[in-house]
Structure 1
Amino acid sequence: MTIEMLYFAWVRERIGQAAETVSPPTDVTTVRALIDWLAAQSTVHAAAFENRDRLRAAVDQLFVPLDAPLGSAREVAIFPPVTGG
């Protein structure tokens, strides 16, 4: 499976890019597992994802909890909590 990863705000700044295409192994089946797998791929990903409690996600443009299944996701966005005003 190929997934387009999108990063926003300080997550993007820590990783150093706004997007990347990844092909995680088949045992990566949730957003949290995807984040764990990415964190193991490089030190910049590990630093960006070190505090999972401060991360939010969207799968194919729908907000989801980190334990949500990936299913056949084409796009996963990772970002800090959003505030409004």
Structure 2
Amino acid sequence: MQVTLLYFARLRERFGMAEEQLSLPEGIQTVAGLIAHLAARGDVWAEELAGERVYRVALDQEMADFSAQLHHGAEVAVFPPVTGG
């Protein structure tokens, strides 16, 4: 399954990229599986995604929880929470 990943704010800076195309290994079907796969890269990936850092996920431009099902061609955005005034 091919997905497009978009990274925003501090995650874009830490990962050194704004987006990437990723072919997922068989068996990864949910946002949680995708995040675990990315965290397994180690280093800053594990620090930001497997640690205690807070972030949000959107699937096809809709806020999603970690149980959301992925599909071929999905757009997954990962970003820190934002506040405004």
Structure 1 stretch 27-36 or stretch 62-71: which is displaced more?
62-71
- The question of 1:49 aligning with 2:49 is answered yes
Report the Cα offset of residue 73 of structure 1. Answer: 4.8
Structure 1: stretches of 5+ with no match in the other structure: none
Which 4+ residue blocks in structure 1 deviate beyond 4 angstroms? none
- The question of 1:26 aligning with 2:26 is answered yes
Q: d(CA) in 1 for partners of 2:52 and 2:66?
A: 9
Report the Cα offset of residue 23 of structure 1. Answer: 0.8
* TM-score of the superposed pair, with normalisation by structure 2: 0.85
Structure 2: stretches of 5+ with no match in the other structure: none
Q: How many aligned positions are there?
A: 85
SS in structure 2 of the partner of residue 69 of structure 1:
coil
Structure 1 stretch 15-24 or stretch 67-76: which is displaced more?
67-76
Change (3 A) 1:33 1:3: same
Please, what is the CA RMSD of the aligned residues? Answer: 1.8
